[in-house]
Amino acid sequence: MKTKDPNNNEVILKEHVYDGIQEYDQKLPNWWLFTLYITIVWFVFAWVAYYQLPFKMPDSQEKIDAQMALIENKKQEELETMMASINNDSLKEMSLDSSHTDAGKAIFEAKCIACHGQDLSATMNGIQLPGVALNDAEWKYGAEPLNIMEIVTNGSPDITKGMIAWNTQLSPAEIAQVVAYILSKQS
């Protein structure tokens, strides 16, 4: 059924009424239709580009893996540079510097107290802790500062009873500071 609206435009009415309302059957506005058509065309091109063409955009996991590889490479370079410059004498000098020992103490208190105790005696309130005492002259795998740093970095050679490798959780500089703190407490 055709009729005229108040602006004298031709209007097509649907033949049914719902809740007392007669519906108009109007065309959608052109801007709305063009937006729909452009979106459909864009989707087709994007789908072809993403799934069918040989070049691919890296996904989130690939981006994360690339960034992690960069971090690992930088950490390895830092470790190699630091290990080249560190020797027994430089670690002993660090143990005399309060800025290094204070930083090492903070790291030790956060990470090492559970096994080695606050006073490095491997006891807490008379209870023997799983770690070994670090405040005496007896060392299981070598008493030189580089031996201590090797154990802190890579863990104990005996993995069933020894310490974990801290190189995954601490930077080489932090490991050196912990070693400097331990050396400063030697009796």
CA distance 76 to 59: 26
pLDDT at 44: 95
- Cα separations (Å) of 99 from 9, 48, 90, 119, 180? 86, 60, 14, 19, 10
Q: Are 137 and 183 in contact (CB under 8 A)?
A: no
12-58 pLDDT, tens digit each: 666 667 787 766 667 788 999 999 999 999 999 999 988 888 877 77
Q: Tell me the pLDDT band of 123, cut-offs 50, 70 and 90.
A: confident
Q: Tell me the pLDDT band of 106, cut-offs 50, 70 and 90.
A: very high
Numbered ranges of CATH 1.10.760.10 in the chain: 60-184
CA distance 49 to 53: 5
Judge: domain 60-184, CATH 3.30.300.280.
no
